C-alpha cells in the first residue's frame, strides 16, 4: 500500500481532519499493510536549519545577533575504574522567538502560523490562553536553530540538602567537552569524572563501590544562563525503573491523531490516572538502596523541555533519554529505542531493570522483549494494555516478540491499581490476580482482519511484519510551503 496525501488550508486556516485520513486508511486494511511503525511519530519530521530560516524569512545577520542557549538532559553516571562516568547529552541552539520580545526576530503572528502546522482542525486563536502559550512554547523550541562549532564547558557541584551527602557539598568539578558541537548542535557521550574535587582540596565524591544511595550533582553550562540540569550518580547495585512517558505516565492518546497532537502541543500535560501514586510508592520502598528512575522518550531533544517539566512536577526525579539529533549508524536511525535501551543496560550491568510502557507504542512492543532476551539484567516488563480500558484505541499491536520469554518476567496490566504492591527489590514482576491471555501475534485487529498466527505461542507466520509503515506526520508535511 502506498499512501499519498495532498492537504490544503483554506482561508480560515482549517485542515482536513486527521481522523478522516485514518478512517480511510483502515478501510480495507489487511495484515500485510500493518507494521511496527503504524502509529504517527509526531516529532519525527522536524525541518532543518536552512528550511526554518527560509520559511520564517530569517536573515543570517538576524541569526548571528541571537544569544547561544544550551539544553542539557538530566544525566546518569555509573561507577567504573574508580571514577564516575557521566553521560552528557546537550544541545546548543538559538531561539528566533523570544517571549520577552527583547531579542525576538520572529513575530508572534508568524509563530502562530507555524504552530498551526501541528494543530489539525484548530487555529491557535481558538485555544484557551494557557493552550496558546503551550503551543507557542513548543513550536518555538522545535523551530530553534542548532549551533555547530560550539565548545561547551560544564561546571558540577554536589546539590545541597541531601541528607546522606551533606558533608560532600564542597566538591566541585569542571568538564570541558573535548570536541565542538556537531552540525546539529549536539554533543553526546561519557566523561570520566574523578572523585577528588577541583584543585585537589576539599571533600571527595563518594566511592561508588561503597555506597548505595544516589547522589545528585547540579550541572551548569558556562557562558549561558540556560543549560542547568542534574547528574545522578547511580551505584552499581540496585533497581532502575525505566519508563516510557506517552500514554503510560501522561494522557497522550497517540492512537487518536487529532487528540494526540492537541495533548502534545497545546493542552497541559495530565497524569494517566493514579500512576504518580504507584511511582511514589516505589520511590519509598527501599530508602537505604533507592531505585533510580530513568525516563526514555523518542521525542527529539529540542521538544522535550515540556516533558521534563511535567515529570519533575509529577514523578520521582531521575535521568532522561531522548532521541539523539545526530545518528552515525542505520541501526540508531531506525531502532532508536533499542539503541538507547542497550546503552543504559550495558552501562549498569549489575543493576536490575524494570521496563514500563504500553501497547500503543510499536517500538516498545518489539524493543522491550528483544532486550529482555538479550540482557539478563532486565527483571520485569510491565505493559499497559490500552485497548482494555480505552475503546478509542483501534490500532493493532503485535505481541509475537514475547514468544519464548519467561512469563514470570512480564505482565500486561489495565490500570495503575494492577501494579499496587509490586516489590521490585524482592523480584516481583507479576500480579497474579490480573488475567493474562497473550497469544503471540497481532492483537486488536480491525473488524474483518484475521491474524494468521498461532494461539498457543507458536509465533507469527508473517515475515513481512518487520517492514516499516510510517502513517503520518500529516499536518506538518502538508503546510510548510504555505507559511
pLDDT at 462 over 70: no
pLDDT at 81 over 80: yes
Single residue among 201, 233, 265 that ends a domain in this structure? 233
Same domain as 247, residue 191: no
- Confidence category of residue 483, pLDDT binned at 50, 70, 90: very low
Same domain as 261, residue 184: no
Same domain as 245, residue 184: no
- The whole-number average pLDDT for the span 377-389 is 94
Cα gap 39→26, rounded to integer Å:
12
- Residue 132 falls inside a structural domain: no
pLDDT at 105: 82
What is the pLDDT of the chain when averaged over all its residues? 80
As to burial, measured by CB atoms within 10 angstroms (0-12 exposed, 13-18 middle, 19+ buried), residue 363 is buried
DSSP string spanning 194-239?
-SSPGGG-SPPPP-TTT--SPEEEEEEETTSS---EEEEE--SSEE
Single residue among 187, 207, 233 that ends a domain in this structure? 233
pLDDT at 202: 62
Single residue among 194, 211, 233 that ends a domain in this structure? 233
- Confidence category of residue 14, pLDDT binned at 50, 70, 90: very low
Same domain as 287, residue 224: no
- Per-residue pLDDT tens over the stretch 435-445: 887 888 888 77
pLDDT at 150: 95
* DSSP label at residue 127: S
- 3-state DSSP: the chain helix, strand, coil percent, rounded to 5? 30, 20, 45
Residues pairing with 176 in the sheet: 153
* DSSP label at residue 402: G
- State which residues form the domain around 213: 67-96+147-233
First CA to last CA across the chain, in angstroms? 30
Same domain as 273, residue 216: no
- Residue 112 falls inside a structural domain: no
Residue predicted with more confidence, 465 or 78: 78
- Residue 39 falls inside a structural domain: no
Same domain as 255, residue 179: no
Q: What are phi and psi of 374, to 5 degrees?
A: -95, -25
pLDDT at 40: 45
pLDDT at 326: 59
* DSSP label at residue 34: -
- The whole-number average pLDDT for the span 27-39 is 37
pLDDT at 129 over 90: yes
- Greatest mean pLDDT among 100-114, 156-170, 225-239 lies in 225-239
Same domain as 220, residue 259: no
CATH code for the domain in which residue 78 is found: 2.60.40
- Confidence category of residue 198, pLDDT binned at 50, 70, 90: low
Lowest mean pLDDT, pick from 18-27, 160-169, 263-272, 354-363: 18-27
- Residue 44 falls inside a structural domain: no
Closest CA to 223 of 418, 90, 28, 314: 90
pLDDT at 437: 78
Residue predicted with more confidence, 47 or 472: 47
- Residue 379 falls inside a structural domain: yes
CB 398 within 8 A of CB 449: no
Same domain as 84, residue 200: yes
pLDDT at 164: 54
Same domain as 428, residue 386: yes
pLDDT at 301: 83
- Residue 414 falls inside a structural domain: yes
- Residue 12 falls inside a structural domain: no
Cα gap 190→188, rounded to integer Å:
7
- Confidence category of residue 199, pLDDT binned at 50, 70, 90: low
Segment (H or E) for 295: strand 292-300
Same domain as 412, residue 266: yes
Same domain as 281, residue 376: yes
**Global confidence as pTM:** 0.84
- Residue 360 falls inside a structural domain: yes
- Confidence category of residue 396, pLDDT binned at 50, 70, 90: confident
Same domain as 292, residue 213: no
Q: How many domains, in total, are found in the chain? A: 2
List the Cα angle 331/306/469 in 5-degree steps: 35
CATH code for the domain in which residue 272 is found: 3.40.50
Amino acid at each position: 500500500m502506498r499512501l499519498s496525501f495532498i492537504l490544503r488550508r483554506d482561508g480560515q486556516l482549517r485542515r482536513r481532519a486527521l481522523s478522516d485520513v485514518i478512517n480511510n486508511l483502515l478501510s480495507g486494511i489487511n495484515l500485510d499493510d500493518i507494521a511496527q511503525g503504524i502509529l504517527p511519530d509526531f516529532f519525527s519530521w522536524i525541518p532543518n536549519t536552512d528550511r526554518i530560516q527560509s520559511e520564517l524569512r530569517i536573515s543570517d545577520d538576524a541569526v548571528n545577533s541571537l544569544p547561544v542557549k544550551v539544553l542539557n538532559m538530566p544525566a546518569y553516571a555509573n561507577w567504573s575504574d574508580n571514577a564516575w562516568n557521566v553521560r552528557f547529552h546537550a544541545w546548543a541552539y538559538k531561539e528566533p522567538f523570544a517571549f520577552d520580545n527583547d531579542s525576538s526576530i520572529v513575530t508572534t503572528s508568524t509563530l502562530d502560523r507555524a504552530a498551526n502546522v501541528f494543530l489539525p482542525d484548530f487555529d491557535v486563536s481558538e485555544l484557551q490562553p494557557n493552550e496558546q502559550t503551550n503551543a507557542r512554547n513548543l513550536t518555538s523550541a522545535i523551530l530553534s536553530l542548532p549551533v555547530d562549532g560550539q565548545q561547551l564547558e560544564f561546571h558540577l557541584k554536589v546539590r545541597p540538602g541531601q541528607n546522606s551527602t551533606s558533608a560532600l557539598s564542597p566538591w566541585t568539578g569542571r568538564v570541558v567537552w573535548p570536541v565542538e558541537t556537531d552540525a546539529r548542535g549536539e554533543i553526546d557521550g561519557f566523561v570520566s569524572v574523578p572523585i577528588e574535587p577541583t584543585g585537589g582540596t576539599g571533600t571527595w565524591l563518594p566511592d561508588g563501590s561503597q555506597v548505595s544511595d544516589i547522589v545528585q550533582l547540579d550541572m551548569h553550562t558556562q557562558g549561558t544562563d540556560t543549560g542547568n540540569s542534574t547528574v545522578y550518580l547511580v551505584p552499581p547495585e540496585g533497581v532502575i525503573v525505566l519508563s516510557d512517558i506517552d500514554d503510560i505516565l501522561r494522557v497522550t492518546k497517540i492512537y487518536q491523531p487529532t487528540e494526540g497532537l492537541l495533548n502534545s502541543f497545546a493542552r497541559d500535560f495530565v497524569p494517566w490516572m493514579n500512576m504518580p501514586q504507584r511511582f511514589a510508592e516505589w520511590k519509598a520502598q527501599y530508602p537505604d538502596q533507592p531505585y533510580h528512575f530513568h525516563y526514555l522518550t523518542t521525542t527529539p531533544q529540542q521538544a522535550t523541555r515540556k516533558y521534563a517539566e511535567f515529570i519533575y512536577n509529577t514523578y520521582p526525579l531521575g535521568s532522561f533519554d531522548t532521541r539523539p539529533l545526530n545518528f552515525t549508524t542505520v541501526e540508531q536511525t531506525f531502532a532508536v529505542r533499542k539503541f538507547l535501551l542497550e546503552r543504559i543496560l550495558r552501562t549498569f550491568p549489575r543493576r536490575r531493570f524494570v521496563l514500563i510502557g504500553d501497547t500503543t507504542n510499536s517500538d516498545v512492543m518489539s524493543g522491550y522483549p528483544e532486550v529482555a532476551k538479550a540482557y539478563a539484567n532486565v527483571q520485569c516488563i510491565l505493559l499497559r494494555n490500552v485497548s482494555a480500558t480505552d475503546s478509542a484505541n483501534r490500532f493493532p499491536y503485535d505481541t509475537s516478540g514475547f514468544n519464548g520469554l519467561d512469563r514470570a518476567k512480564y505482565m500486561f496490566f489495565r490500570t495503575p491499581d494492577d501494579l499496587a504492591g509490586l516489590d521490585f527489590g524482592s523480584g516481583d514482576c507479576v500480579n497474579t490476580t490480573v488475567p493474562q491471555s497473550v497469544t503471540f501475534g497481532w492483537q486488536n485487529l480491525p473488524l474483518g482482519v484475521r491474524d494468521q498466527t498461532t494461539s498457543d505461542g507458536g509465533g507469527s507466520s508473517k515475515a513481512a511484519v518487520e517492514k516499516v509503515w510510517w502513517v503520518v506526520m500529516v499536518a506538518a508535511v502538508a503546510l510548510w510551503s504555505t507559511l
